[in-house]
Amino acid sequence: MPARLPAAGFIASLDSSAIDLSEAQTLPPECYTDKDFYEFEKEALYYHEWLCAGRESWVPNVGDYFTTQIVGEPIVVARGRDGQVNAMSSVCAHRAMLVAEGSGNTRMFLCPYHHWAYGLDGRLTGAPAMEKTCNFRKEDHGLTRFKVEIWQGFVFVNFDMDAAPLAPRLTAVTDAIAHYDLANAEGERPREPGVFPWNWKVMFENNNDGYHASKLHQGPLHDFVPSERAEFPDADPADAGFLRYNGTLHPDASFNATQRALLPVFPGLDETDRNRMTFANIPPTLSLVMMSDMVIYLILRPTGPETMEQDTGVLVAPGASRHPSFAHKMEMNMIAAMHIIDQDMHVDALVQVGLRSRFAPRGRYAWQEGAQIQFNRWLVKRYRETYDRLTGPAVQPALTTA
């Protein structure tokens, strides 16, 4: 439980960020800057929601593993001898040494400190010199296991072993992106995470903001996907994800100087898919930008109230990477994409500076920011439920937008 909970009035004030778009306010600046709120947010979101850790393709063989950290929790994901993907704390059950770093292939996880050994499923298999320790049973001292679910080739973990399954709450998103067949898409693992000086929600909001696209990114690398063609399908805040669509001026639009797909188009796409970009979001950790020939995925990991890491990866159609010109065409795409991303990151950094100001507002929304309301409703539902769980349902919903 966080040491200090938000004030009851503060929680009540969040409701005005989750009402109709035409009347809603942005979230309070403290949601992006305050250390105590960040601790509350860990309990509200990260300790009970499904969190994207990576791609299943990163552990194709038995014994393959990779490590990551989410809100400071060290995680190891490994392919077990039964072929199943396991996710566990990488903290040794003896003295808290990390038993795994980086990625690779192994027969077991051996703590380098005292040589406690763990199987690929986290079970303790060896504990030297523990025979004189009273009431010690190896089966009681394995690595802490997490729930695992594979969705569209992404590995999701949940620290809460009682959490409801992920897939049933992603039906609308799954149906909307089914033609991409992301489970079979190709893409190398990102090399190093980006480290950024802003709150994770600043990044998540920017990636789903239809309003800024034709302003900040005005020019030949983005004009084919105008803001006025943004669409925001309804989403239930109880669901695990939401969508944004943006119509394009021509089919198979893509981020490069030609404005058209250079790589092979995902083979299952229909005419509707090929005439828009789709933005699929599974907060708090995964955001997808989907074009006809390329999908960019962002895996977000907060490291503090005003800092975060992010894995940025690319997926392409099966077989696309084997074409002799693939590397050159991908380079063309990434030059354009990085130009746009650089613009976004400059803005994200300055937004975080602004959010620290004593004059930071609770602003109002334009209709092209519909995805922000979907996000707010997802957040506020979980903030309020967690506050009620920790204190009792004493805070009544706000009745005004003031």
Q: Among candidates 122, 60, 63, which has minimal Cα distance to 90?
A: 122
Structure tokens at 318: 């099966």
Contacts of 103 (CB under 8 A, 6+ apart): 58, 64, 65, 66, 67, 189
* pLDDT at residue 396, as a whole number: 52
pLDDT of 337 reads 87
Instruction: Indicate whether 244 belongs to any domain.
Output: yes
- Work out the number of other CB atoms within 10 angstroms of the CB of residue 315: 23
CA-CA distances (angstroms) from residue 252 to 138, 246, 256, 258? 56, 13, 12, 11
Residue 397 lies in a domain: no
Q: What percent of the chain has pLDDT over 90?
A: 89
Q: Kindly state whether residues 44 and 59 are assigned to the same domain.
A: no
Q: Are residues 81 and 197 in the same domain?
A: no
Q: For residue 246, list its beta bridge partners.
A: 230, 277
Which of 127, 158, 189 is the last residue before a domain boundary? 158
The pLDDT of residue 309 is 97
395 in a structural domain = no
Q: Print the domain residue range for 80.
A: 51-158
Q: Is the pLDDT of residue 5 over 70?
A: yes
Residues 153 and 135 in one domain: yes
Indicate if 277 and 327 belong to the same structural domain: yes
Residues 6+ apart with CB under 8 A from 154: 52, 54, 55, 56, 182, 286, 297
For residue 395, pLDDT beyond 70 = no
CA distance linking residue 31 with residue 197, whole number of Å: 15
Same domain, 244 and 337: yes
My answer on whether 43 and 56 are in the same domain is no
pLDDT in tens, 328-337: 999 999 999 8
Up-side HSE of residue 60: CA atoms within 13 Å toward CB?
7
94 domain residue, yes or no:
yes
Query: Which of 13-22, 57-66, 392-401 shows the lowest mean pLDDT across its residues?
Result: 392-401
Identify whether 60 is part of a domain: yes
Tokens found for residue 382: 């979980």
Q: Do residues 271 and 351 both lie within one domain?
A: yes
* pLDDT tens string 294-350: 999 999 999 999 999 999 999 999 999 999 999 999 999 999 988 998 999 999 999
**Does residue 179 fall inside a structural domain?**
yes
Same domain (yes/no): 146, 180: no
The CATH number of whichever domain residue 348 belongs to comes to 3.90.380.10
Q: Please say if the pLDDT value at position 213 is more than 90.
A: no
**394 found inside a domain:** no
Find the CATH number of the domain harbouring 70.
2.102.10.10
pLDDT in tens, 57-112: 999 999 999 999 999 999 999 999 999 999 999 999 999 999 999 999 999 999 99
Mean pLDDT to the nearest integer, 359-386: 96
Confidence check: pLDDT of 399 > 50: no
> Average pLDDT for residues 101-130, to the nearest whole number?
97
Strand intervals (E) in 294-382: 295-304, 307-315
In a domain, 3, yes or no: no
144 and 233 together in one domain: no
Residue that terminates a domain, selected from 132, 158, 184: 158
Say which residue, 284 or 191, is predicted with more confidence. Answer: 284
The residue among 158, 187, 207 that closes a domain is 158
Which residues are CB-neighbours of 81 under 8 A, at least 6 positions away? 62, 119, 120, 121
Phi-psi region of 115 (alpha: psi -120 to 50; beta: other; left: phi over 0): left
Q: What is the pLDDT of residue 239?
A: 97
Are 140 and 212 found together in one domain? no
| Structural domains of the chain, count | 2
Same domain, residue pair 245 and 108: no
3-class secondary-structure state, position 177: coil
> Which residues fall within 8 angstroms of residue 59, CB to CB, at 6 or more apart?
65, 66, 77, 78, 79, 85, 155
If asked whether residues 301 and 185 sit together in one domain, one would say: yes
pLDDT band for position 210 (cuts 50, 70, 90) = confident
Given a cut of 80, is residue 221 above it in pLDDT?
no
Q: Is the full-model pTM beyond 0.85? A: yes
